[in-house]
Amino acid sequence: MRFPTIPIAALCLCSGAFAQQKLPASRLQPVTTTPKQVTIDFVTGKRIPQGSQPLAANTQTIYNNTCAWSVASYYANFASCEEVYDEGRIPSAAPGSGSPVSWDEFTFAYCTYNAASFRCEIAFADNAGGRCAGQMAQTPPTWAASSVYTELDLTPMGLPGSTANNFLGCWVVSMTNLGLCVQADGDGVFDNNPAKDLFTWAFHHQMPAQTAGPEGIFVAGDPSVAAPGSCTYNIPCGAAACGTGLSTEDSAWINGDGTPIGTSVPTNCPTGTAQYGYGTYCYWFGGWPSNPYASYYFEMKGGRSCSGGSVGAAYCTVNPSADGCLPSMGAIGMPSLGNSSQFKVTTLNAPAQRSGLQFFGISGPNSLPFSNGTLCVKAPLMRLTTKPTGGTALCDGTLSYSLSEVLAQAASAGTPLIAGSSVYQQAWIRDPNSPVGSAASNAWSYTLNP
């Protein structure tokens, strides 16, 4: 990337053909310092010296949106109650790859005026709803519609901040050793339909504001520097060493109504209130090439073929708790024995500040009255450890268990699981306001891959 220190260009109103709204010039902050680079192992949380742990020889770049605007380099200002959702496409026509493909590393970039470790979440959905440019319904994607949905809390990773409060620090951070699988072309087939072909990724930080300046992520993508798709698989980079993401557009959603990635509302964030301008909407910076392209720095590496299979599916009945919560099951990652720590089955919308557990079986589904709901798993049942649901609002509790925990419990019960085994998993939650003292979720079924 190039990082010229040129004053912010005046933004202009361009063609009215798009429904998105223009962000004010104050949302663009110049990058006035050379970004530092750091690589962090996602499994261990430890920093890796640059170049000391290369990826596998057959690893390729599956998405590259790293080019700065040809005029100047900026990061975009976001408050801690806002999230940005950007789009792109991972092509399936890559040498030696299929669908799904491996996702081993991603790189993003940010600037901060905070000396504390940078706290943020990044989420990814392989076909969460497509584009926002030119659409009249200006709402972010529905993550639940995606067959692969991954939400990563990077706060425990110890992301670097500034040297001191109110001093600008900028970083290009690579998270490696993910071991995840994603669908190429959204659903594995190029349909030439953005609702099916495009992935969506989201960024949300939780840093306190400093007087000297705001936090934000790098603006990236410029078709005049590198053609869309450049540096992806077998598409040459050309003269530029950076890329403009395949199928990225001059627009991005911003969720400004206080609801973050997932289901919980951040502390001190108003619910249902527009934080600025039009609130939750599709935005741009006024129209490229006169203004920066409204897309964000994100690079993905992987490309090896993943084993067949899917993240699984929900089944059975969701019954409300005594407080009206609807505890529902979902999962992220791929249920692979080789990467068992990266697949997690989570109960969302559970009663907050309760205790509960998930249990599972391998004999098949069930449908019997149980705990003010339905027993969805056929015996014999194996119990996972009890955990708190957490949360602060009425129904924002969660229970999450990795495949590693399921495998360990099955092994201790004398029923080791192998590739091809089908698992049926459900949650039980204490509910003292219920006549039976507990509540049950629906269930999640999945088949183990090698």
Per-residue pLDDT of the chain (450 residues; tens, 9 = 90+): 333 322 223 223 233 334 678 888 889 999 999 999 999 988 778 888 765 555 555 578 999 999 999 999 999 998 887 888 899 999 875 554 556 777 889 999 999 999 999 999 898 888 877 677 665 445 666 666 666 777 788 888 899 999 999 999 999 999 987 777 788 888 777 888 887 889 999 898 989 889 999 999 999 999 999 999 999 887 888 888 899 999 999 999 887 655 545 544 444 555 544 444 556 778 899 999 999 999 999 999 987 666 555 677 778 887 788 888 888 887 776 788 877 887 889 888 888 899 999 999 999 999 898 887 889 999 999 999 999 988 877 787 889 999 999 999 999 999 999 878 899 999 999 988 888 888 899 898 888 876
pLDDT at residue 58, rounded to an integer: 59
Q: What ranges do the domains of the chain cover?
A: 21-305, 313-447
Among 86, 127, 92, smallest CA distance to 106 is for: 86
**DSSP string for residues in 68-122:** PPSS--EEEE--TT-EEEEEE---S--TT--SSEEEEEEEEEEEES-SSPB-EEE
Strands 298-305 and 101-112: antiparallel
Strands 149-153 and 328-332: unpaired
Instruction: Put residue 279 in one of left, alpha, beta given phi > 0 → left and psi -120 to 50 → alpha.
Output: left
When the candidates are 2.60.40, 1.20.120, 1.10.150, 2.40.160, the CATH number that belongs to 313-447 is 2.60.40
pLDDT at residue 14, rounded to an integer: 36
Residue with the two structure tokens 């559970």: 350
Contact 285, 18 (CB under 8 A): no
**pTM of the predicted structure, to 2 decimals:** 0.68
Among 419, 443, 225, smallest CA distance to 319 is for: 443
Q: Where are the beta strands (DSSP E) in 113-251?
A: 120-125, 149-153, 169-182, 199-205, 216-218
Contact 394, 351 (CB under 8 A): yes
Among 175, 197, 188, 211, smallest CA distance to 39 is for: 175
pLDDT at residue 321, rounded to an integer: 84
Helix (H) or strand (E) holding 329: strand 328-332
345 forms beta bridges with: 331, 401
- Tokens, residue 315: 């089944």
- Tokens, residue 32: 């006035």
Rounded Cα distance between 10 and 28, Å, is: 11
pLDDT at residue 94, rounded to an integer: 55
| The residue type at 17 | A
Contact 253, 277 (CB under 8 A): no
pLDDT at residue 15, rounded to an integer: 35
